[in-house]
Amino acid sequence: MTDQTEMAVRAEIRAWLDRNWDPSLSLVEWRERLVDSGWGTPTWPTRFFGRELDAPLSAIVEEEMRRVGAVGVARSGARNLAIQTLLSHGTDAQKLKFLRPTLTGAFSWCQLFSEPGSGSDLAGATTRADFVDGRWVVNGQKVWTTSADHADWGLLLARTDWDMPKHKGLSFFLIDMHQKGIEVRPLRQMNGYASFNEVFLTDAEVAAENLIGDLGSGWPVAATTLMHERSHGDPSAAKPTEPVNGLGRVHEEERREIEIATEPYGWYPQRAGRVDLILDRARETGTIEDPAIRQEIAKLMILDRSAKWLGLRARAPLAPGEGLGPTGSLIKLIGSIVARKAAEVHTYIAGADAMLAGGDGAHGGIVAEVLVSVPAVSIAGGTDEIQRNIIAERILGMPKDASVDVARPFRDVPKNTRG
Amino acid sequence: MNYSFTSEQNDFRDVVRRYFSKTSPPNVVRRLMETDAGWERSQWDDMNAQLGLCGLHVPECYGGMGFGFVELGIVLEEMGRALVCSPFFGSAVMATAAILNAASEAQKLAWLPDLAAGRQVATLAFMEPGSGWRGDCAGTAARKSGEDSYELSGAKAYVLDGHTADAIIVAARREGSNDPQALSLFLVDGDAAGVLRTPLQTLDTTRKLARIDFSAAKAELVGEPDMAHEPLARTLAQAAAMLASEMIGGAERLRESALDYANLRVQFGRQISSFQAMKHRQADMLVEVELAKAAAYQAAQAAASDLPEFAAIASLAKAAASDACRQTAIHAVQVHGGVGFTWENDTHLWFKRAKSSEAFLGDAVWHREAMMQAWPTGRSDCL
């Protein structure tokens, strides 16, 4: 395997695609062939559905796949979080059991981390898992769970030891979402959408072999998941799955899969402020001639362009796939500032129309959607305040806040009361 | 467009930073700002002998080193950081750019080698008492007095180092010109008869400004008659981009000094930098300074590449720097608390430079409007 040349790899994948690529297969059938051949994740170890190719050779595989329009493995959204977490922390048995059906798209996933009582303070989770009669019994509530309504499996962070300090008493599980102990309810947001769910766990069960990592080491495992979630949220990171415009059953099923995966994110561009609409809107409405509004537009444009250039500068020295580290917090905080300013300027441009929404609202309701979606951007994925703490402590090297909760049993730490 | 400095540029920055940290520590700044001239010929000569900075961006055919605005921007950023007291901005940036943009080939060959070597110090007089930043409302008039000579009459104000410069480039209108709106540039010897130079009292005493009254002062036309409007606008845009670089150097120094002080200062039994109010303020200061830096670097790049959208980006960078510098200076005094309001503490030196720079060459409001006028038509993301 190690001395494979570019040409040999190209010849091999071409021959394999010739024999196996067939758009009339079902999506899962095709992906089973792909995963079992190792061509779906060619950089992975041979015994876990890979071929141990380096990145340049893997790029050749992707190129050949694109050339014939072949669909790739399923890696979007929470599936990728599950995959990355399993690769870093799963046992061989867990990898063998879960990676294949995840890559084929047979299993879909959700992430059961945030709770009503622990948002910024994720390690303060109070959902409990107790070991009873050879299996884990889970009780508690999770929130902001994308895709929980159709996920097959969940990545669960739960407390297994209440006498340890908070970071040491958590464990990480894979939980079967199809069981009677789990109730999923849509959570309606202030912008009217329900992109997330609340998940109620009442004596839900987890098999003993579905503990990931050691008992009590859930926090470092969750940190891996979160790291990949952040890089996923970074617009410069791996491109979202793009459907191949082919005909045939496999393509139809893939388009449906992407539709389901992206459905919750339809309002995300509005959440970021839609700066791209500002100049056109200002010209259409004539507000571009208003000297006071021009100043506000200019402030926004200066912020937005500077933010773009700062992002490009931050990423310029990075290798492909390398994360931004704490600089990501700076970029995220700036994104909030841009979005908030954009909502303000959209309001000036819309004038009285800022009072309207939907079909009566400005720009077909998009402006109204901006105004009521922007508040999410400074909360989701770590609030602005948390980003400022990270910037201060990890970029500027300022002392950590004196903590009152990490050096004593979690049982004794003040918590939000339920309900 | 490059989004990072080359390793050579980074090495160059290190050399420049080391040089100014040695030659322009705060006690030297304080000594020079108390002098009438505001700078010292011996220090100026040493800087040019050691580093040749005045010729950095001047093409080699005119006696310079042939680098561009990115390297010049690095120098200005470091000068802003060290608050260097010298006539560099007026001479190496404004006057040199005006000559490069407007002068004839023969004039460039005659004048630039002396400016590039620092043997001559020049400045640019484009504003008048009560005039705006555009520099196109010259009440100063030039009367033809001979084959190649003119006599200038009128008043210029806010002239950077105008009281000490060896030569002054002056924007004026020609009497009898067919186009009464047309501007021309003239070179006047600083010591010529009919030149009265009056230093102005400045808020920032590290930046000296003068009023200059001309009464029939002998002047030489720079470049073509009546054609100075475009080269002057270009010169001022280049100067605005370079001033933005100087400003972000000063802003970063202020930000760092506030952070250092917060780490040193103990109240309530702990470093004040451990309080979240202080940490969040420092995070906000970093955001403001880093955004303004990104804009200033982009403007230097756009100047170096002579992009068509350069004027818009220069105004963008100057507006960003004006806001960021002001805000950072306010934060820096605040973080220092009572000691930050004393004369003895150095914060006020950079605070005053920030305030003066906020206005110099056009404040944020002016440049935001200039940016909107220069913004390329089309989509929001065309810059």
Tens-place pLDDT, residues B259-280 = 999 999 999 999 999 999 999 9
Kindly report the nearest CA distance between residue A399 and chain B, in angstroms: 5
Does B3 contact A at CB distance below 8 Å? yes
H helices of A212-326, in order, are 218-233, 249-262, 268-271, 278-285, 291-315
Summarised one tens digit per residue, pLDDT across range A117-129 is 998 899 999 999 9
Find chain A residues with C-beta within 8 A of B283's C-beta: 333, 387-389, 391-392, 396
Q: Give the residue on B whose Cα is nearest the Cα of A290.
A: B369
Please tell me which of the candidates B4, B286, B380 has its beta carbon nearest to residue A279.
Answer: B380
Closest CA to B286 of A390, A213, A231: A390
User: What's the DSSP call for residue A155?
Assistant: E
Closest CA to A144 of A113, A168, A102: A113
Find chain A residues with C-beta within 8 A of B280's C-beta: 385, 388-389, 392
CB-CB contact of A269 with A277 (8 Å): no
Mutate to test the interface with A, among B375, B380, B381, B383 (most CBs of A within 10 A): B380
What is the C-alpha to C-alpha distance for residues A299 and B307, in angstroms, rounded to an integer?
22
Q: Give the residue on A whose Cα is nearest the Cα of B292.
A: A306
Q: Are residues A388 and B284, on separate chains, in Cβ contact within 8 Å?
A: yes
pLDDT computed for residue A243 by the predictor: 62
Inter-chain CB pairs, A–B, below 8 Å: 122
The pLDDT tens digits along chain B (383 residues) read: 778 999 999 999 999 999 999 999 999 999 999 999 999 999 999 999 999 999 999 999 999 999 999 999 999 999 999 999 999 999 999 999 999 999 999 999 999 999 999 999 999 999 998 888 877 767 899 999 988 899 999 999 999 999 999 999 999 999 988 887 899 999 999 999 999 999 999 999 999 999 999 999 999 999 999 999 999 999 999 999 999 999 999 999 999 999 999 999 999 999 999 999 999 999 999 999 999 999 999 999 999 999 989 999 999 999 999 999 999 999 999 999 999 999 999 999 999 999 999 999 999 999 999 999 998 875 555 56
Angle between helices B347-359 and B310-336 (to 10 degrees): 150
Find chain B residues with C-beta within 8 A of A392's C-beta: 279-280, 282-283
What b/e readout covers A153-173, taking b as 16+ CB neighbours within 10 angstroms?
A: bbbbbbbbbeebbbbbbbbbb
Residue A230, φ and ψ in degrees, nearest 5: -65, -45
Summarised one tens digit per residue, pLDDT across range B111-147 is 999 999 999 999 999 999 888 887 776 789 999 998 8
- Identity of residue B278: M
Residue A304, classed as helix, strand or coil, is helix
Find chain A residues with C-beta within 8 A of B373's C-beta: none
Bridge partner list, A206: A136
Burial of B8 (C-beta count, 10 Å sphere; 0-12/13-18/19+): exposed
Q: Are residues A306 and B316, on separate chains, in Cβ contact within 8 Å?
A: yes
Does A261 contact B at CB distance below 8 Å? no
Alpha carbon B240 to chain centroid distance?
7
Radius of gyration of chain A (CA): 24
What is the C-alpha to C-alpha distance for residues A337 and B226, in angstroms, rounded to an integer?
46
Q: Are residues A392 and B283, on separate chains, in Cβ contact within 8 Å?
A: yes
